[in-house]
Amino acid sequence: MKPSSPGKALVVGFDVPARIGMPLAEVVTPALLIDLDAFEHNVATLGQQLGLAGLRLRAHSKTHKSVDIARYQIDRGGACGICCQKLSEAEVMVAGGIDDVLISNQVVDPARIERLAMLALRARMLICVDDSDNVTNLSAAAVRQGASIECLVEIDCGAGRCGVGPGQAAVSLAQQIAASPGLKFAGLQAYQGKAQHIREYAARGQAITAAITQARTTVDDLAAAGLRCDIIAGAGTGSYHFEAASNLYNELQCGSYIFMDADYQRVLDQSGQPISEFENSLFLWTSIMSKTRPDMAICDAGLKVLSVDSGLPRVFARDDIEYVNCSDEHGTIADPHNRLKLNQKLKLVPGHCDPTCNLHDWYVGIRNDTVECLWPVSARGKAF
Amino acid sequence: MKPSSPGKALVVGFDVPARIGMPLAEVVTPALLIDLDAFEHNVATLGQQLGLAGLRLRAHSKTHKSVDIARYQIDRGGACGICCQKLSEAEVMVAGGIDDVLISNQVVDPARIERLAMLALRARMLICVDDSDNVTNLSAAAVRQGASIECLVEIDCGAGRCGVGPGQAAVSLAQQIAASPGLKFAGLQAYQGKAQHIREYAARGQAITAAITQARTTVDDLAAAGLRCDIIAGAGTGSYHFEAASNLYNELQCGSYIFMDADYQRVLDQSGQPISEFENSLFLWTSIMSKTRPDMAICDAGLKVLSVDSGLPRVFARDDIEYVNCSDEHGTIADPHNRLKLNQKLKLVPGHCDPTCNLHDWYVGIRNDTVECLWPVSARGKAF
């Protein structure tokens, strides 16, 4: 019997940065590493916390865009399902076997609405809405496809982005959903994205408390109109303690907790210290590629492998050197004690994990300084 | 006869944002557009300028990472070859048929040096060096592979990144190259990257003049040591007029001129006006996906499709609205006259073209508001 199509071998250093079993020291740079012990700790920590509190975790896959990680969060981390931010991400996740997906965002163009309805034939699909015409179009597509789409009314509770106002605007939209064939009114999306990164605990708490108040008012108004919210959803890694304690939210959407990043570690807890319940598990592995000056070194990690929108990366576990400048393919590292050598490798903590992961095709999972797994960034670039 | 392996169809709105012949209005958002008329104008403009001046253009493919565009620059835009910034980019370009490639950067790790030597069996390969051990390793690999690698000595002429000092440090390295089997000393790399974006013409000219002076000194020192530079290379879109007029540089490495971006359009010419010889040809096509407030709209283009390291995008040909905030998957557009509607599409001019292109898998080439071509971003993510 002839072999089937031979496929294509993955070349280390071209297609992939590593092979399984390789020592970390040999992993090609620049590459995105996951410290598996830290990652598993983070997944377990939040899963246990929310489980004990009787709250659902719908883990946000926009952080990682990986079917493998989504599967791990559901199988081992207590997640009831996942959030996606884009239809094309959701299509990747459903194709990968994830069967309970909220697109925590609007899908408003006609072609994509039709695809969403088709996807709802294969998995439980939930979507956020903030527009009446959109509800009409979602209903028509669901009816055409013979599908059922669950809708959360999104309210703007302070982030100033998507969402209708709290209270009556939300009630009107919910009533329309409840009356629309093919749709089910499933509850409320009330995510205060801007508050996640407020540094001081008290100020962050104040912003989230305001959001919770708006969500509570809306839930009460919905109840008065005879509409019950199965799901009251929102929260992120920076704020989830507040929503968890609200006695209102029942489904939390944390994403970054699995990895953490340099920006989230500037967010302070109640004692004024950086959040420490989650560990850094995501690293950008980089090499020194030029060392011509005693006080400076150039590494091979620049804007094309690191998103600097929320600040520069931090060199992990090194106080004696500092990443001080970023250009397209280079990073400048201040090396005042002249300790760095050509080809020396370093771990960087990315400034912002989500858009950094979206630059890469692979995660290299590391345990005991050895490559244990290679996970594709399955939905990388899926922005549609 | 049975059909061969069926491959995989590209689904519009999942794998690709458009199909050829589609009206622009139907191209799925977010997508990266090339206005082909403007692109061709830009390529022709620089090609003609440098051709008339008797200078070579080695177009920088780090901007676009596209074999199709590299091929067009060589076939139709007067380019003698291309620059890459990474070995894996060069491997993509050589596989695509480009046969004259300078890696305008250092390749220092042993595994990649070996691959560079192998690549030099298939194409003319040039590389920049700034380290003596690296020269030794490049020579050994070239000899092992039976290849010849051309080396440019890179000097730091003001950017403070890679490169040895001008003058004697460069001469020593050049002498070592000239004496190394398998290597050829080909000349000097003197690129002042930091100066490209200096806004004022006079200040930019001053920085580049200082760089030219350092390059000239080094060329003279090399000549005094009996070493002739076939190539004296550098320059970018912001500075190339100065290097072109230097009577020293003979190979210019412009990249962004094909597309332009919002940041380059803050760079001023001699008359104090934004550079106008090149037109905007690169656009991020985006849709309004939420419109719940009269003075604001939310579009579907955020950090995962736009690099904001050099500032936010500009809305093209619209003074009445402004892109004012960017999050992972959303952009906030100030709409003070309440003109935007749900599903309305807009062209954004990215803040920084190179890292924006690296986020996308496809260019959608547009002429007369119709899709004329789809070009893959062939080396997207090739950061090794």
Q: Is A22 on the interface with B (CB under 8 A)?
A: no
pLDDT under 70: residue ranges of chain B:
1-7
CA A213 to mean position of chain CA atoms: 25
Q: How is chain B split into domains, by residue range?
A: 24-33+277-376, 37-258
DSSP string, B175-227: HHHHTSTTEEEEEEE---GGGGG-SSHHHHHHHHHHHHHHHHHHHHHHHHTT-
Q: What is the C-alpha separation between B61 and B67, in angstroms, rounded?
A: 9
Q: Would A24-33+277-376 and A37-257 be classified into the same CATH topology? A: no
Instruction: Produce one character per residue of B341-379: b if its CB has 16 or more CB atoms within 10 Å, e if not.
Output: ebbebbbbbbbbbbbbbbbbbbbbbbbeebbeebbbbbb
Q: Which residues lie across from A79 on neighbouring strands?
A: A57
Provide Rg for chain A, Cα atoms.
22
What is the sign, positive or negative, of the torsion defined by CA atoms of B97, B101, B103, B104? negative
Distances in Å between the alpha carbon of A36 and those of A19, A106, A278, B172? 16, 33, 13, 46
A281-324, pLDDT tens digit by residue?
999 999 999 999 999 999 999 999 999 999 999 999 999 999 99
Element housing A89 (H / E) = helix A87-95
- What is the nearest CA distance from B52 to chain A, expressed in angstroms? 31
- pLDDT for B8 equals 74
Q: What is the C-alpha separation between A305 and A355, in angstroms, rounded?
A: 9
Q: Which residues lie across from A324 on neighbouring strands?
A: none
Q: What is the ipTM of this complex?
A: 0.96
Candidates A347, A328, A262, A330; CA nearest to A296 is A330
Residue type, A200: E
Which of A165, A343, A355 has the CB atom closest to B109's CB atom? A343
Q: Which residues lie across from B331 on neighbouring strands?
A: B299, B326
CB within 8 Å of chain B, chain A residues 136-165: 156, 160-165
Residue A3 pLDDT more than 50? no
Using DSSP's 3-state secondary structure scheme, residue B271 falls into coil
Q: What is the C-alpha separation between B306 and B51, in angstroms, rounded?
A: 34
Arithmetic mean of pLDDT, A121-137: 98
Residue A364 pLDDT more than 60? yes
Kindly determine whether residue B292 and residue A164, on different chains, have CB atoms separated by under 8 Å.
Answer: yes
User: Which residues does chain A have within 8 Å of residue B330's beta carbon, measured at their own beta carbons?
Assistant: 161-162
Residues making up chain B, counted from first to last: 384
Looking at domain B24-33+277-376, which CATH architecture does it have? Beta Barrel (2.40)
Candidates A345, A290, A338; CA nearest to A17 is A345
Residues making up chain A, counted from first to last: 384
Residue A6 pLDDT more than 60? no
A24-56, pLDDT tens digit by residue?
999 999 999 999 999 999 999 999 999 999 999
- Match domain B37-258 to its CATH number in 3.40.50.620, 3.60.15.10, 3.30.365.10, 3.20.20.10: 3.20.20.10
- Written as six digits, the tokens of A50 are 């929310």
A196-230, pLDDT tens digit by residue?
999 999 999 999 999 999 999 999 999 999 999 99
CATH of domain A37-257: 3.20.20.10
Q: What is the mean pLDDT of chain A?
A: 96
A240-257, pLDDT tens digit by residue?
999 999 999 999 999 999
- pLDDT for A9 equals 82
- pLDDT for A1 equals 37
CB A24 within 8 A of CB A371: yes
Provide Rg for chain B, Cα atoms.
22
Chains A, B: CB contacts under 8 A, how many? 168
In terms of CA atoms, which chain A residue is nearest residue B28? Answer: A384
